Amino acid sequence: MTMNSSCAHLDHKEKLCWIAIITNPQNDLAVSRNPVDIQDDITICRECEQFKKTTERGFGRRAADEAVITTVMKLIEQLSVKKQNLQQTANQLKQSLEQLSLLKNITDALACSDCLEKSLRIILTGATSGDAFGFNRAAILLVNEKNAMLEGKSAIGPENNEEAIRIWKEISKIPLSRLLEEIIIENEFVSCSLEIMLSKVKIPQSESENPLVKALDETKEKIFNTRDKEFSKFEFTWWPQAEQIVVVPLICEGKPLGLILADNVISKKPITDESVEALKSLANACAPGLQNAILHEKLQAQIKELERVHELFKLNQAYLVRHERLADIGTLATKVAHEFRIPLVTIGGYARRILKTLGSDLFDKHMVEVVIDEVDRLSKITSEILEYSRSSKLNIRECNINSIVEETMLQLEEKLDTSGINTEKLFESKTLSVRVDSERLKQVILNLIDNAVDAMGNGGDLVIKTSKHKDYVILDIQDTGKGIDKYSLENLFNLFYTTKDKGSGLGLAVSKKIIDDHGGYINVNSIPGEGTVFSIRIPACNQRQETGDVKNKS
């Protein structure tokens, strides 16, 4: 081989063996080349025929020349080996950089995933993408802690060579980041036949000899040959045509979440230690995100279960309320018979006396007044019974609670003026809007103020205050009366319980029912001998806020 064709190099049109040129400076090829074309890569000389001939002529001469030539040859050989090692290292670094780039895209996508199914597809898409991972098929099995099963959850991969060629050709033009974005925005996924078969897989964790369970228990990656006895005695028809399979556990904080299973059934590419390490790095990077997705799915399932239980509770509550009302109505019938009997006897006796004395000097106007009082009493009891027993049909509208209180107190103005009670109104200046049946709420306020007046007897202080706390508008009615003892507080809202001589025991029960029907509640605080505070809380509407209180004494 002549000098013109003997220079070994990556591109013989560009690179020359510079040692050959030095030893043969008059060579036509050397003369025609620009000095910048001559490469300093001494490893090129190793394959140069001209250089070999030059060095061979040096052997057999002086020992010094032979030593120099041998040394040069050894150096060139070592440099060539080192160059190969550097190239191999560069290739490994390039692959590692690709892995890191893919891992970043995958973990970023996992952070954006809002459900477990999407998270599984993101991981599997990563396992089957690029040269860094690039398995033909991949699947994930997860641990079900409730039944101690390893269950198939998701799989991705072509069914045959034709489908593989078509799919790989399509996705080769799409960046991984784009594929992952499409998974994140997708709402529904179509399962491939591989995933359909996998979804039926349930392997008991107690099956300790199963290769998959063993890999999970040992938390160690494994490569299996399906022809091995260890593998062949277990049922793996759900993963067809497989010959060599790699299994990598998904571990987060020492807890096994499941397994990634992968193979190269289409390309027949051997599963190397490097590819196993790559899949292991993918599993380690994705395990925390997968655990978050699993916890999120559990949380969503618990929320749905709580919602279902809440709906059942509401249905049962309505059922219990109806039956409680029926029970109350039974008690009511007995109480009504008792309450009505005394006024009716009184009315009957006075009516007969009026009839006997009508038109005579014995006629007493007071007897008519007694009859009217008893009729009024019966009418009041009847109204309260109807209010308590009828279904809640509220005429709801948005109202200002300050206005409702003002209107109610106008109705009680005469009674308050004649009772020697000092009334103080503390209303917030901001509009306290509530959605209520204003007439029903007035009924409650009338009843509570009437009770407060009765409790104070010969006078005292009555404070009516409105305020807002969080999502509730609060109406406080405070008196300085005789207070309520502990026993009475516990029974205060029970049907027919009363401490008044002529009380029906329906007023507070009806008031509580009205507030309950509005989604609110009543609190009572009392100190015997000092007074009582009834506090009504009703859900507030959205409203314009202003600060400050207005004091109005009357």
Supply φ then ψ for residue 224, to 5 degrees.
Answer: -115, 140
Say which DSSP state 128 is in.
T
Whole-angstrom Cα distance, residue 368 to residue 346? 11
Whole-angstrom Cα distance, residue 93 to residue 162? 33
Span 18-39, average pLDDT: 55
Selection from 264-268, 335-339, 374-378, 472-476 with the highest mean pLDDT: 472-476
Residues 380 and 464 in one domain: no
Average pLDDT of the chain, as a whole number? 79
Q: What is the pLDDT of residue 394?
A: 79
Report field, pTM of the whole predicted structure over 0.85: no
Q: Are 435 and 396 in contact (CB under 8 A)?
A: yes
Residues 256 and 147 in one domain: yes
Residues 125 and 240 in one domain: yes
Domain boundary among 346, 372, 389: 389
Q: What is the pLDDT of residue 494?
A: 75
Q: What is the pLDDT of residue 144?
A: 92
Picking from 171, 161, 172, 103, the residue whose alpha carbon sits closest to that of residue 132 is 103
- Kindly indicate the confidence band of residue 133, based on its pLDDT and cuts at 50, 70 and 90: confident
Residues 342 and 422 in one domain: no
Cβ-based neighbour number of residue 37 at 10 Å: 11
Query: 């027949």: which residue's tokens?
Result: 268
Residues 263 and 410 in one domain: no
Half-sphere exposure of 391 (CA within 13 A, CB side): 4
Cβ-based neighbour number of residue 64 at 10 Å: 8
Residues 403 and 382 in one domain: no
Q: Which two tokens stand for residue 59?
A: 């052997």
Q: Which two tokens stand for residue 217?
A: 């228990």
Domain that holds residue 463: 397-553
Whole-angstrom Cα distance, residue 226 to residue 257? 24
Residues 360 and 457 in one domain: no
Is residue 516 packed enough to be buried (19+ CB in 10 Å), middle (13-18) or exposed (0-12)? middle
Q: What is the pLDDT of residue 126?
A: 85
Q: Which one-letter amino acid corresponds to residue 10?
A: L
Residues 139 and 227 in one domain: yes
Instruction: Please report, for the domain that includes residue 175, its CATH number.
Output: 3.30.450.40
Domains held by the chain: number: 4
Residues 351 and 227 in one domain: no
Whole-angstrom Cα distance, residue 265 to residue 269? 8
Whole-angstrom Cα distance, residue 388 to residue 384? 6
Residue 342 confidence (pLDDT) above 80: no
In a domain, 28, yes or no: yes
Residue 168 confidence (pLDDT) above 70: yes
DSSP letter string, 204-254:
ETT-TTSHHHHHHHHT--EEEETTSHHHHTS--TTSTT-SEEEEEEEEETT
Residues 147 and 244 in one domain: yes
Pick from 324-328, 348-352, 419-423: least confident: 324-328
In a domain, 87, yes or no: yes
Residues 275 and 187 in one domain: yes
Q: Which two tokens stand for residue 146?
A: 């409730």
Domain boundary among 291, 319, 354: 291
Q: Which two tokens stand for residue 155?
A: 């799989």
Span 486-500, average pLDDT: 77
Say which DSSP state 538 is in.
E
In a domain, 298, yes or no: no
Q: Is 479 helix (H, G, I), strand (E, B) or coil?
A: strand
378-405 pLDDT, tens digit per residue, is 777 677 666 666 655 778 999 999 999 9
Q: What is the pLDDT of residue 192?
A: 85
Picking from 120, 149, 141, 126, the residue whose alpha carbon sits closest to that of residue 289 is 120
Query: 């997708």: which residue's tokens?
Result: 186
In a domain, 407, yes or no: yes
Residues 279 and 131 in one domain: yes
More confident call, 407 vs 133? 407
Q: What is the pLDDT of residue 475?
A: 94
Domain boundary among 291, 326, 346: 291
Instruction: Please report, for the domain that includes residue 460, its CATH number.
Output: 3.30.565.10
Whole-angstrom Cα distance, residue 308 to residue 297? 16
- Kindly indicate the confidence band of residue 309, based on its pLDDT and cuts at 50, 70 and 90: confident
Partners of 258 in the β-ladder = 142, 250
- Kindly indicate the confidence band of residue 484, based on its pLDDT and cuts at 50, 70 and 90: confident
Q: Is 184 helix (H, G, I), strand (E, B) or coil?
A: helix
In a domain, 103, yes or no: no
In a domain, 302, yes or no: no
46-55 pLDDT, tens digit per residue, is 667 766 676 6
CA torsion, ordered 393, 395, 399, 402, to nearest 10 deg:
-60
